[in-house]
Amino acid sequence: MDRIPGRMNTVAGQRTLTIRLNPLDNVIVARVDLAQGTYLPEAGVTCRQTVAFGHKVATIPIRAGEIVWKYGQIIGVACRDISPGDHVHTHNLSMRSFSRDCAVGKGVRALPQPAGESVLFQGILRADGRVATRNYIGVISTVNCSSSVTRLIADEFRGTALAEFPNVDGIVPICHGLGCAMAGSGPGLDHLRDSLAGYARHPNFAGVLLIGLGCEVSQVDVVAGAIGRSAQPPVQTMTIQGRGGTRRTVQEAVARIREMLPVADRFRREPVAVNRLILGLECGGSDSLSGITANPALGVAADLLVRHGGTAVLGETPEIYGAEHLLTRRAVRREVAEKLLARIRWWEQYTAALGGEMDNNPSPGNKAGGLTTILEKSLGAVAKGGTSSLMEVYRYAEPVMSKGLVFMDTPGYDPVSVTGFVAGGANIVCFTTGRGSVFGCRPVPSIKLATNTAMYERMEEDMDINCGTIADGEDSVDSLGRRIFERILETASGRRTQSELLGIGNDEFAPWHIGAVM
């Protein structure tokens, strides 16, 4: 079917015990914990076992080998006979490969254009025309060996050290565990170099100091070359060995940053068109409600951004597996669809070569939250991309140049995926979570969207918006999507996210490493 999964067929105020997502489905989703013997009038069945909130209940007999449908799509096959009212999960539902109708371009459609004045936010305009949502100075280590020194440099500016520079949001240390004992060429070093260069070029940095050790594989001058001479402001570099050790490096670096601070402090926020936003779409710690509440609501927000000329970046290639046909149908050109399918094939070969399979992706937490197969997880995850046409497919950490909905090939691991988005130019991120991920990604703000009310209330200090009100029957997907869009504008204009208020985000730089540790 062509419908986008996750658009729940319910209305505000409905108080049923379960959620049916599509008339074709032979399972429904528990809205609350269901005791054995609970009668479900909306489906005409009685629960044969206890079914936890977010888990699936069969509505009709499903024989072993028959397809299980959710979202109007295939999520697996029954591995034993299933009776109406049975709990459907890992004990009786399994993954099976099947052919997908890619129907390239069949679902391409123009979104309605917004009426009235252009939507603006209070952004930071850089001298070269790029737009920032935050105003930081970055200290970036090229190798793990310089990470401790990088942190020591940033620590010099804690407390009241920046009090006389109120327009500077802070000094961000970018540290990692890579940069040496790796091949001097190939995808591993490419990903690291491109990630470092992308962060150094990021508009959210008003100035950058690149710190190396001196003898590593990831050499400072190579990274500086990838950044480009046209970077504004120019990126400054130094090595610990060349400077004469830790103490002298820290002293020199602190002196250089103090020279950057008055310049960075001159920037002021001003009205900027929303088409300058690049939104990273991420989900982590997913549960069964992710594809019913937060992900489709974020898809509405992404569509609104695209309608106003902005860019939304979908990624996590292993987590669109089994749902890629919903994206190829929206590809504006055959070569865009072929790029996406080529990445799917690469991932199949990559996991097989390492003795794994694509269905290894759902984590124990995902399964505890009601997700069973990667197909089910992917159908919910792809809803973050809304209904917009797919304009382009990018490699990991590649600069994103297209407007509209685009795809970046990233792993499903949250810090690695978001690192690719930010390196590609994303200046704001929305992160949906059902189990409760605490995530930040300085220098870019991360808005966290809770999929269910119980988790939101338990972790309210970490969550920005509760999308569980959709499942509670208090909001529609569209109304929540518009609220998310408004929060995106507020956050891009300077409103702090919960992760920023908690000081989270200095440790999430995690470039995708492929290759042997030598």
Q: Quick: pLDDT tens for 326-370.
A: 999 999 999 999 999 999 999 999 999 988 888 776 888 899 999
Would the pLDDT of 57 be above 90? Answer: yes
| Exposure class string for 192-217: b at 16+ Cβ within 10 A, else e | bbbbbbbbbbbbbbbbbbbbbbbebb
Residues 483 and 239: their CA atoms lie apart, in Å, by 46
pLDDT of residue 362: 81
Residues 279 and 284: their CA atoms lie apart, in Å, by 16
Confidence of residue 8 (pLDDT cuts 50, 70, 90): very low
Residues sharing a CB contact under 8 Å with residue 373, sequence separation 6 or more, in sequence order: 75, 76, 93, 94, 95, 322, 359, 362
User: Residue 149, Cβ neighbours under 10 Å: how many?
Assistant: 25
Would the pLDDT of 7 be above 70? Answer: no
Higher pLDDT, 100 or 212: 212
Tell me the pLDDT of the chain averaged across its residues: 93
Residues 402 and 278: their CA atoms lie apart, in Å, by 10
Per-residue tokens: 7: 């658009």
191, 512 contact by CB (below 8 A)? yes
pLDDT of residue 105: 81
29, 288 contact by CB (below 8 A)? yes
Mean pLDDT of 138-149: 97
Residues 101 and 109: their CA atoms lie apart, in Å, by 18
Confidence of residue 4 (pLDDT cuts 50, 70, 90): very low
Confidence of residue 11 (pLDDT cuts 50, 70, 90): very low
pLDDT of residue 140: 98
Would the pLDDT of 428 be above 70? Answer: yes
Higher pLDDT, 441 or 9: 441
Residue with token string 């990021």: 202
Residues 372 and 56: their CA atoms lie apart, in Å, by 9
Residues sharing a CB contact under 8 Å with residue 367, sequence separation 6 or more, in sequence order: 89, 90
Region of residue 40 (left: phi > 0; alpha: psi -120 to 50; beta: else): beta
pLDDT of residue 450: 98
User: Residue 268, Cβ neighbours under 10 Å: how many?
Assistant: 10
Per-residue tokens: 133: 């949502």
Pairing assessment for the beta strands 131-132 and 93-94 based on DSSP bridges: unpaired
One-character DSSP codes across 16-34: -SEE---TT-SEEEESS-B
pLDDT tens column, 363-418: 888 999 999 999 999 999 999 999 999 999 999 999 999 999 999 999 999 999 99
Would the pLDDT of 13 be above 90? Answer: no
Would the pLDDT of 114 be above 90? Answer: no
Which CATH architecture does the domain made up of 136-266 adopt? 3-Layer(aba) Sandwich (3.40)
Mean pLDDT of 225-233: 82
Would the pLDDT of 101 be above 90? Answer: no
Distance set, CA 287 to CA 10, 53, 455, 508 (Å) = 19, 10, 11, 22
Mean pLDDT of 216-245: 91
pTM value is 0.94
| 3-state class (DSSP) for residue 278 | strand
Would the pLDDT of 98 be above 80? Answer: no
Q: Phi/psi at 298 (nearest 5 deg)?
A: -65, -35
Please give the order of strands across the beta sheet that includes 56-58: 18-19, 27-30, 56-58, 87-88
pLDDT of residue 50: 97
401, 426 contact by CB (below 8 A)? no
Confidence of residue 203 (pLDDT cuts 50, 70, 90): very high
Residues 284 and 298: their CA atoms lie apart, in Å, by 14
Percent of the chain at pLDDT above 70? Answer: 97
pLDDT tens column, 179-192: 999 999 999 999 99
Residues 485 and 301: their CA atoms lie apart, in Å, by 5
pLDDT of residue 288: 92
Would the pLDDT of 516 be above 90? Answer: no
Mean pLDDT of 30-53: 96
Q: Which fold has domain 18-94?
A: 2.30.130
Mean pLDDT of 49-60: 96
Residue 167: closest CA among 231, 260, 277: 260
Residue 354: closest CA among 127, 140, 514: 514
